[in-house]
Amino acid sequence: MKLLPSLLCLLLSLSLVAPAETPVKSAPIQAALQPFMDQSQLSGAVTLVAQEGKILSFEATGLQDLESRTPMAKDSLFWIASMTKPITAMAVMMLQEEGKLNIEDPVAKYLPEFKGQMLLKEKTESQSVLVKPVRPITIKDLLTHTSGLVGNSPLDKDAIDVLSLKEAVITYALSPLQFEPGSKWSYCNPGINTLGRVIEVVSGDEYAKFLDKRLFKPLGMKSTTFWPKEKDMAKLATSYKPTADGKGLEVATIKYLTPPFSNHKRTPLAAGGLFSTAEDLYQLYSMLLNGGESNGKRYLSDATLKLMTQNHTGDLKAGFTDGMGMGLGFQVVVKPMDVTAMLSPGTYGHGGAHGTQGWIDPVKKTVHILLIQRAGLANGDASPMRKAFQEAATGLLK
């Protein structure tokens, strides 16, 4: 009995020492991205990795806003920019399945303003030579960025609060084609915006309402919108770009969008106007990985999804990294290499202007979502952040 006090003292002393000697291990994705935050290349990130319907990692790291020191949260809202493009393409393919359009049809069948569109054959200081193209542009050309439409859009500048989608598309139709349709791949925002207008004409719904009614609400994508509400703005991740000396970050504007972001008068850009969250995107990508079906509701047939995610550009150089091809709205990994080396052939997805990424690997049955708001990247699809994220994610897979 006399030994009891001594024994209690010994146990108490061990309990006090143990926590200090036990290292705290960071989550693998956070550990991979932390150096970018330490070096002021990134403010923060939200990442999600899933395999076979199971979320393996869902992490928020860093800061949503540097000035207020607001921590990044799993439900932080991001401008996903060109990740909007495949969503627009899904809507087009839903309408094809309903027999309301055919992607092989000329765009002019649905938008008469494109009838008689000419090709710019030659341009000098004194004149422009226009000729009739070999064939008119098709909806499929728009989906694969092979239409030859003019690359500069009025909606890319200051007209987003002035021109409607309908009016902007008329300006594309009045501009001559820059190359023969189908002859090359050239990334084209006006082409995807034109698809948004086709959706309106064919469905009878406004473009944004069609997406909300047919995709976002049924899938439970509650935060995905072209116009975040005032209450959602507190969750919006601030976009940053490198300072002039490259040693820090400063606030960057969202190139194609003007505040207030909740202003419904701003045109919903089919090529890049959506805001979303990691959880919402996971609902969408899970449906795709499941062959076009979610919770007993079918959105796309398996055959249509396979058509969308195969390479339609053949040997044309496509995408922003080597080894890529172009599907219908999706970019497709044809030959994995460099930043895509850890992905399977046939992996499909899309990136956004400020570094956001979403990719579905149908072979490994995985979903990779990287949400950051980093302007000024030399190549968002080949960013070091994306590579570090995907390498860390690979270590989590079966």
Question: For position 25, what pLDDT does the model report?
Answer: 41
Residue 101, beta-bridge partner list: none
Q: Give the Cα-Cα-Cα angle 222, 225, 228 (nearest 5 degrees).
A: 95
Which whole number is the average pLDDT over 207-214?
98
- The answer on pLDDT for 330 being more than 60 is yes
- For residues 45, 46, 51, 55, the Cα torsion angle rounded to the nearest 10 degrees is 140
In the chain the beta strands, taken as DSSP E runs, fall at: 44-51, 54-65, 70-71, 78-79, 119-123, 128-131, 240-242, 249-251, 275-276, 293-294, 297-298, 324-326, 331-333, 348-351, 357-361, 366-371
Can you give the pLDDT at residue 5? 47
The pLDDT score that the predictor gives to residue 16 is: 39
Output the pLDDT for position 163: 84
pLDDT of residue 153 exceeding 80: no
pLDDT score, position 95: 98
Q: For the chain, what is the mean pLDDT?
A: 91
- The CB-side HSE value for 296 (13 A sphere, CA atoms) comes to 0
Give Rg (Cα) of the chain. Answer: 24
Instruction: Give the mean pLDDT of 191-204.
Output: 98
Max CA-CA distance within the chain?
A: 108
The stretch 57-74 carries a mean pLDDT of 97
φ, ψ dihedrals at 57, nearest 5°: -155, 135
pLDDT at site 264? 85
Give the pLDDT mean for 136-144: 98
Instruction: Say whether pLDDT at 326 is over 80.
Output: yes
Domains within the chain, CATH numbers bracketed: 28-83+211-394 (3.40.710.10), 89-203 (3.40.710.10)
Q: Which tops the pLDDT comparison, 121 or 99? A: 99
158 pLDDT higher than 80: no
Nearest to 282 by CA among 17, 2, 56: 56
DSSP for 318-334, please give it.
-SSSTTEEE-SSSEEES
Q: What is the pLDDT of residue 98?
A: 98
pLDDT at residue 255, rounded to an integer: 74
Ramachandran angles phi, psi of 46, nearest 5°: -120, 130
pLDDT score at 20: 38
User: DSSP string spanning 85-146?
Assistant: HHHHHHHHHHHHHTTS--TTSBGGGT-GGGTT--EEEEE-SS-EEEE--SS--BHHHHHHT-
For residue range 34-45, list pLDDT tens digits in order.
999 999 999 999
